[in-house]
Amino acid sequence: MDSVKEQLPKLITENMHLIHNFKADLYKKSFDELFQANRALFTQIDALYMNQNSDVEKEQFVKEIAKDFVSKVKVYFEANVKKSKQDTSILDYNMVMSSFVIPCIMEYRAESTEALTDALLTEWNAAFTKYRIQKGTFADIDGAFKRKLCYITTAVCDNLEKADDSYELTTLRAFRDNYMMHSENGKGLVKEYYETAPALVMRMNQFKESRQIYQEIYNRYIKPCISYIEQNQYEKCEKMYINMVHTLEQQYIGGAS
């Protein structure tokens, strides 16, 4: 148990550099390296979990590990981040936690996996209350990098309870495939969004008022884009989408470090 308590917090404290690897061309390799480096730790945790005598003891076991993990990470965070920067820096810690640590634990797929990840998320969100993180798998996140230009629109529509085959998504996907990918600058722009959009959406999802954020994006950017497409004003749609991504980057990524 002591060994687990010592090693588990290092998934965060020794891996904050991974915030810079949350990109399409770096994520999978970085994730695989983290998972392989910690496979023995996950095996040890699962063995201890299975040695508990009852479901109650198993629950207490993962809660104890989770509390210790969050406590040590919080001490590290407060010791290494200036107080004036803690409100924004916690976004980086949340990113590493939700895009690398939690998916890494879930990738092990053992008896203890769900209980441990649930306990970690509960303790984390209770300790760092301004923002929130959610459970996600490697497959979910890696797949997000493949949605390209429509990823932000997909997130908006998901939050506003619009279907994956909604008019907005269908229209913008067609615009991407039939115009953007054939325009002079389109391929480069799609590649840029391919790198940026998943991290951007993950940032926005951490805010408690995320639904309001997505509603504002829909009203300010998505609806006008759709209108431009309907009027065959494709260049205006392209410029609107570029403006949206750059504005959101500055607001939700540019200010955090």
pLDDT in tens, the chain (257 residues): 899 999 999 999 999 999 888 877 788 999 999 999 999 999 999 999 999 999 999 999 999 999 999 999 999 999 999 988 888 788 889 889 998 999 999 999 999 999 999 999 999 999 988 888 888 888 877 776 665 556 778 788 888 888 877 888 888 888 877 787 776 666 667 666 666 777 788 888 888 888 899 999 999 999 999 999 999 898 898 888 888 888 888 888 764 44
123 shares a domain with 156 = no
96 shares a domain with 42 = yes
Pick from 91, 111, 140: which residue ends a domain?
A: 140
pLDDT the model gives residue 114:
94
pLDDT the model gives residue 169:
83
Handedness of CA 122, 127, 129, 133 (dihedral sign): negative
Cβ-proximal residues to 96 (8 Å cutoff; 6+ apart), any chain: 12, 15, 16, 18, 19
Q: What angle do CA 27, 83, 201 make, to 5 degrees?
A: 30
Q: What angle do CA 206, 203, 68 make, to 5 degrees?
A: 55
Distance CA 115, CA 92 (A): 25
Handedness of CA 110, 114, 119, 121 (dihedral sign): positive
Pick from 106, 140, 174: which residue ends a domain?
A: 140
120 shares a domain with 50 = yes
Which ranges of 128-185 would DSSP assign to H, the alpha helix? 138-144, 151-159, 167-178
pLDDT the model gives residue 85:
85
Pick from 79, 107, 140: which residue ends a domain?
A: 140
216 shares a domain with 97 = no
What are 207's strand-pairing partners? 131
CB contact at 8 A, 62 and 49: yes
pLDDT the model gives residue 194:
65
Distance CA 91, CA 39 (A): 26
168 shares a domain with 93 = no
What total of structural domains would you count in the chain? 2
pLDDT the model gives residue 186:
66
160 shares a domain with 249 = yes
151 shares a domain with 106 = no
Measure Cα distances from 115 to 27, 39, 60, 135 in Å: 25, 17, 10, 12
pLDDT the model gives residue 95:
86
The closest alpha carbon to 18, from 5, 28, 6, 4, belongs to 28
**Helices 86-96 and 186-205, packing angle to 10 deg:** 110
Distance CA 127, CA 120 (A): 11
130 shares a domain with 97 = yes
220 shares a domain with 123 = no
46 shares a domain with 103 = yes
Cβ-proximal residues to 205 (8 Å cutoff; 6+ apart), any chain: 132, 134, 155
Q: What is the rounded end-to-end Cα distance, in angstroms, of the chain? A: 34
100 shares a domain with 226 = no
CB contact at 8 A, 115 and 59: yes
Residue span of the structural domain in which 74 resides: 2-140
